[in-house]
Amino acid sequence: MSARIQAFCWILLAFAATDICAATQNNAPALPANASAAWVSNVLDGDTVQLADGRRVRLLGINTPEIQHANRAAEAGGTAAKQWLLQKIMHRPVSVVGDVEATDKYGRTLAYLFSQDNELINQQLLAHGLATLNLYPPNLQFATALENAQQQAERQQVGIWQRPEYAPISMLAVETLAATDETLSQRWLRVHGRLQAIRYTAKSVYLEFTPHLHARIDRQWLALFPDLQHYQGKSLELRGWLHTHQGQLSLLLRHPSAIKIIASPTGNVP
């Protein structure tokens, strides 16, 4: 199947899910009083837009697959997310809502966008399975609504949640892939394994899964997480981006939504 046909199928699936849209719209947060009006002049990808006033807005709390760039192929679902956003808000008014941090390191405005129908666009992308949850504290204003939207998409297996490209990978397989696949660190991953040990340092807490792979939580965000002993010995799925830290493969966890306890086939937590 060609890339164009695949992208078209994704778009059809996204727009056919009207029941998902309606359910999520009913749970959309109220538009805050401090929202500002703006006009969308361009959609750059599934999570970045250009406003008529010159601001480039990066949607908070989510991440969509990459679209094709000069030196990088499109990720599965990237074109569909952009097309959905084009249809939804291109050349239309939106309400812009900020959070604690005004901009990112690239100078982009960090914001939530509400459509003229008062839909939270960030939430809708998650509910349609076109984006994944990507909570960065302290920007957590709509964290609960965004988490619920992703959980709904997962349960209903829509969008990326039905794609083999986003299926969980064992941590032992990740170690093998990392040795040969240079693009692994560029992709959002779901990795799973059993937590073997918890190690505390002055700045971080390390969740150790294999001798060569761990997850790291900065102590400044530790209060957001439940008691980490709750995870000890359990099979966990972690979500995020892989990088190298102190000579090991590492996943930086900023929010507990990036950790999922895996139940056994009998429904029990191992």
- Out of 66, 75, 119, 147, which one is annotated catalytic? 66
- What 3-state DSSP class applies to 208? strand
Of the candidates 4, 55, 56, 58, the residue annotated as catalytic is: 58
CA dihedral 74, 24, 122, 87 (to 10 degrees): 60
Q: How many CA atoms lie within 13 A of 261 on its CB side?
A: 13
What's the first-to-final CA gap in the chain, in angstroms?
A: 39
Is 72 designated active site?
A: no
**Whether 52 contacts 39, CB under 8 Å:** yes
66 catalytic residue (yes or no): yes
Distance CA 237, CA 65 (A): 19
Task: Select which of 75, 92, 101, 108 is catalytic.
Answer: 108
Of 238, 217, 235, nearest to 227 by C-alpha is 217
β-pairing, 188-194 with 169-170? parallel
CA 48/CA 240 separation, integer angstroms: 19
Across the strands, what pairs with 186?
A: none
Return the percent helix, strand and coil in the chain, to nearest 5. 30, 30, 35
- Pairing label, strands 169-170, 132-134: unpaired
Tell me the C-alpha distance between 189 and 191, whole Å. Answer: 6
Token pair for residue 215?
């997850």
Q: Residues 243, 184: contact at Cβ < 8 Å?
A: no
Catalytic residue IDs: 58, 66, 108
